[in-house]
């Protein structure tokens, strides 16, 4: 992350609410940009990221990803992808490696909320490990589908681990969604210039 500090003046602040750093876990993070993918692989290591297999074909970048033992899925075959996510996710967890999943399945523009899918809790319940939610405002400095990067301080909040024993997937997913979106709504502006996004100067009212 040092190169981002030097080249783009993008800093970060971590608020880690965990009483203890349990491992392995299923990390369920908001997906806004490329930044959090890189950061969480560094901060929560060892961790295996669930990602689309097309990324593995990118020269140099994809080769680098391969060394991190990601769980690459084919999104064109949804049923097989779901099976692979669960089986390979549980396999990684039993090896002592945490799993990073983006519950909305794709990057979301600032202020947008997608459908939170149950794959994360499904893996966690299957392996008997906790779920750790993560909220952040990375897209304010690194906007979705936008070339420019903006100086500022990204805030990352790592929530308390959620015990999955005896829990159903639906309620776990909803708990993660509510916590994540509430945390994001309450975060301070990230950019040094005080602007929320290239298309919207002010942050929407959290209410």
Question: Residue 85 belongs to a domain with what CATH number?
Answer: 3.40.1130.10
Give the pLDDT band (50/70/90) at residue 198: low
Q: Take residue 185 and report the two structure tokens written for it.
A: 């709504």
What proportion of the chain, given as a percentage, has pLDDT over 70?
Answer: 86
Residue 60: is it exposed, middle or buried by C-beta count within 10 angstroms (0-12/13-18/19+)?
Answer: exposed
Q: Take residue 72 and report the two structure tokens written for it.
A: 């690459």
Flag whether pLDDT at 37 surpasses 60.
Answer: yes
Give the pLDDT band (50/70/90) at residue 79: confident
The residue-averaged pLDDT of 89-114 equals 94
pLDDT at 200: 66
Tens of pLDDT along 141-190?
Answer: 998 777 789 999 999 999 999 999 999 999 999 999 999 999 999 999 99
Q: Is residue 161 part of a domain?
A: yes
Q: Is residue 194 part of a domain?
A: no
pLDDT at 52: 77
Residue range(s) defining the domain that contains residue 139: 2-186
Tell how strand 26-29 and strand 152-158 pair up.
unpaired
pLDDT at 1: 62
Give the pLDDT band (50/70/90) at residue 62: low
Q: Is residue 13 part of a domain?
A: yes
Q: Is residue 207 part of a domain?
A: no
What is the C-alpha to C-alpha distance for residues 184 and 45, in angstroms, rounded to an integer?
23
What is the C-alpha to C-alpha distance for residues 204 and 207, in angstroms, rounded to an integer?
9
Q: How many domains does the chain have?
A: 1
What is the C-alpha to C-alpha distance for residues 120 and 117, in angstroms, rounded to an integer?
8
Which residue has tokens 């084919």? Answer: 74
What is the C-alpha to C-alpha distance for residues 130 and 160, in angstroms, rounded to an integer?
10
Q: Is residue 202 part of a domain?
A: no
Flag whether pLDDT at 121 surpasses 60.
Answer: yes
The residue-averaged pLDDT of 93-113 equals 94
Q: Any alpha helices (H) in the chain, and if so which ranges?
A: 2-8, 35-43, 61-66, 78-94, 119-127, 169-186
Rg (CA), the chain: 17
The residue-averaged pLDDT of 115-127 equals 97
């Amino acid at each position: 992350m040092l190169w981002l500090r030097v080249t783009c003046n993008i800093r970060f602040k971590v608020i880690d609410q965990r009483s203890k750093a349990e491992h392995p876990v299923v990390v369920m993070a908001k997906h806004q940009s490329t930044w959090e993918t890189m950061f969480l692989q560094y901060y929560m290591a060892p961790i295996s990221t669930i990602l689309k297999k097309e990324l593995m074909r990118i020269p140099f970048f994809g080769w680098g990803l391969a060394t991190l033992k990601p769980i690459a899925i084919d999104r064109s075959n949804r049923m097989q992808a779901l099976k692979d996510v669960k089986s390979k996710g549980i396999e990684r967890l039993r090896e002592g490696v945490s799993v990073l999943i983006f519950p909305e399945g794709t990057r979301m523009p600032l202020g947008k909320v997608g459908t939170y899918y149950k794959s994360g809790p499904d893996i966690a319940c299957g392996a008997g490990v906790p779920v750790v939610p993560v909220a952040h405002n990375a897209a304010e400095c690194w906007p979705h589908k936008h070339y420019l990067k903006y100086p500022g301080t990204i805030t990352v909040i790592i929530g308390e681990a959620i015990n999955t024993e005896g829990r159903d997937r639906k309620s776990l997913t909803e708990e993660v969604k509510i916590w994540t979106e509430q945390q994001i709504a309450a975060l301070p502006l990230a950019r040094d210039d005080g602007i929320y996004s290239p298309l919207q100067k002010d942050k929407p009212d959290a209410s």
